[in-house]
Structure 1
Amino acid sequence: MVAVSARRVALLGGGFSTDEDGLLDDWLLNQVRSPRPKVCFVPTASGDAPAYIDQFLSAFKSRNCEPSVLSLFRRELDEEALRTFLLSQDVVYVGGGNTANLLAVWRAHGVDRLLLEACSRGTLLCGISAGANCWAEGSHTDSFGPLTFLQDGLGLLPGSVCPHYDSEPGRRTSFRETVANGMLSAGWALEDGVGALFTDGRLEEAVTRTPEARLYWVQADEVHEVTEEALPCRLLHGAT
């Protein structure tokens, strides 16, 4: 019988694709016990954009880890090889892009099931933007053009997720409205610069690379009044 591990998910409001200091990615790798963790980048949401893949490899080849990339638009692994590959990873790092497309492609290839299995075996799942949205029950997204809700996700994280809470026009107002009218359940809103680690759906730690960035819990009451609670975030060493 395979031992079931605590399911760990990290939401990132930054990382190699947006930040020069690398603090969030360093924090992420520090959550893994392996002395040289295997880190797989999954760029499905961007259509496996080559420049995005190059960014990841450039950033992680210089770190004490074993980086790799899972391409589904140019898939080379059969079912068993794909399962073996994903279950061997210490970290699966999902990039940004289109959340709805990401979930559809994963399901077509069975990656959704494999990621749930990997997570149950101890793999840390994480990502930025669409790569953060996908782990929750629902999310706030621009997958269909205008900002809207997506009542879909892998459900590893109860509730909903909203990325770019402070940096994209209309995000804060639109997410609050979707929670108020019940189209999305209460959830986590990340400002850029924040990292949040969850174990079995519970917040374990929130960090930030910028002093002003925050993580919020956003919920509505019985009369549809919305409140947002700012959670304490530890300022990462080296942040300015």
Structure 2
Amino acid sequence: MNQHSGGRRRLALLGGGFSTDGDGLLDDWVLGQARVARPKVCFVPTASGDAPGYVEQFRAAYRSRSCEPSVLPLFRRELDDDALRTFLLAQDVVYVGGGNTANLLAVWRVHGVDRLLREAYDGGTLLCGISAGANCWADGSHTDSFGPLTHLSDGLGLLRGSVCPHYDTEPGRRASYRAAVASGALAAGWAVEDGVGALFTDGLLTDAVRRVPHARLYRVEPDGNGGAREQAPSCRPLGVMRSGT
């Protein structure tokens, strides 16, 4: 399904994309959710410290697509407050890269980017991202920002509850996130396996996709007995999926 209705607030959690996948399926899916046919797409690489290699990966992946790509650097900021607001509110898609979730949130708040992203979200800009770029939208998240896996009761709160990325690929993620939800350290939330895309419209899940056969999205909630339970909504396939990828 495609949620392009004007006035709706939309964000997407990504378990892949240009930085990890060679097929471009999740990137094409993101662009397909934009409110216009040729969207303005801004990559925000704050969580990686504006890593040049990461920025170039984005440019290489998006310059050939039907969009107008740009990058927002904050470690060598180029825009004053007024220009920054104008720039961000003009974007159709804001794509946040992975890295350190805690550092990302701190830098955004210093520059007022958190407030501008809320304004863009309310205005219909699609917000999305991978790893830290998925964590940041929720009330809290599961993170390795401090070294060991732990819970971070901090986020922009645009998506109620919590988020856990890399649910199936990083050792300890699943057990640690389930324990955090079971104990109440994190609110119930969404666990994103690599290869998944999840679209939320006005806070509700409205589309879930997978680029590989095994990938799943989970809703993780306390089970009332000191543990946690998982529910896996249906994820529709993207493109032609290759077995074993």
Secondary structure at 1:80 match in 2: helix
1:216 corresponds to which residue? 218
2:173 corresponds to which residue? 171
The aligned runs of 1:21-36 (5 Å cut-off) are 21-36=23-38
Task: Verify: 1:162 aligned to 2:161, yes or no.
Answer: no
1:227 corresponds to which residue? 229
In the TM superposition, residue 5 of structure 1 has moved relative to its aligned partner by 2.1
Partner AA of 1:28 in structure 2:
V
In the TM superposition, residue 195 of structure 1 has moved relative to its aligned partner by 0.1
In the TM superposition, residue 91 of structure 1 has moved relative to its aligned partner by 0.2
Secondary structure at 1:75 match in 2: coil
1:75 to 49, 74, 77: 77
Secondary structure at 2:232 match in 1: strand
1:191 to 175, 190, 193: 193
Percent identical pairs in the alignment equals 73
Secondary structure at 1:83 match in 2: helix
1:200 corresponds to which residue? 202
Cα distance in 2 between the residues matched to 1:109 and 1:46: 16
Task: Verify: 1:147 aligned to 2:149, yes or no.
Answer: yes
Unaligned 5+ segments in structure 2 are 1-5
Tell me how large the CA RMSD over aligned residues is.
Answer: 0.9
Partner AA of 1:136 in structure 2:
A
The aligned runs of 1:51-130 (5 Å cut-off) are 51-130=53-132
Partner AA of 1:143 in structure 2:
S
Cα distance in 1 between the residues matched to 2:7 and 2:112: 21
Cα distance in 2 between the residues matched to 1:230 and 1:61: 35
Mapped contact 1:23–1:238 kept (Cα < 8 A): no
Q: Which deviates more from structure 2 when the two are superposed, residues 217-226 or residues 44-53?
A: 217-226
Cα distance in 1 between the residues matched to 2:108 and 2:240: 36
Scaled by the length of structure 1, the TM-score of the pair is 0.97
Cα distance in 1 between the residues matched to 2:182 and 2:90: 41
Task: Verify: 1:10 aligned to 2:39, yes or no.
Answer: no
Mapped contact 1:151–1:184 kept (Cα < 8 A): yes
Partner AA of 2:46 in structure 1:
T
Partner AA of 2:188 in structure 1:
A
In the TM superposition, residue 7 of structure 1 has moved relative to its aligned partner by 1.2
Task: Verify: 1:182 aligned to 2:198, yes or no.
Answer: no
Secondary structure at 1:92 match in 2: strand
Secondary structure at 1:84 match in 2: helix
Cα distance in 1 between the residues matched to 2:183 and 2:30: 34
Q: Deviations over 1:154-203 (max 9, x none)?
A: 00101000000000000000000001111000000010000000011100
In the TM superposition, residue 53 of structure 1 has moved relative to its aligned partner by 0.1
In the TM superposition, residue 224 of structure 1 has moved relative to its aligned partner by 2.0
Scaled by the length of structure 2, the TM-score of the pair is 0.95
In the TM superposition, residue 90 of structure 1 has moved relative to its aligned partner by 0.2
Q: Deviations over 1:185-225 (max 9, x none)?
A: 00000100000000111000000000110000000033322
Q: Deviations over 1:104-163 (max 9, x none)?
A: 000000000000000111100000000000000000000000000000000010100000
Cα distance in 1 between the residues matched to 2:196 and 2:237: 9
Partner AA of 1:16 in structure 2:
F
Cα distance in 2 between the residues matched to 1:74 and 1:91: 22
1:46 corresponds to which residue? 48
Runs of 4+ in 1 over 4 A off after TM superposition: none
Cα distance in 1 between the residues matched to 2:232 and 2:12: 18
Number of matched pairs: 237
Q: Which deviates more from structure 2 when the two are superposed, residues 38-47 or residues 224-233?
A: 224-233
Partner AA of 1:194 in structure 2:
V
2:22 corresponds to which residue? 20
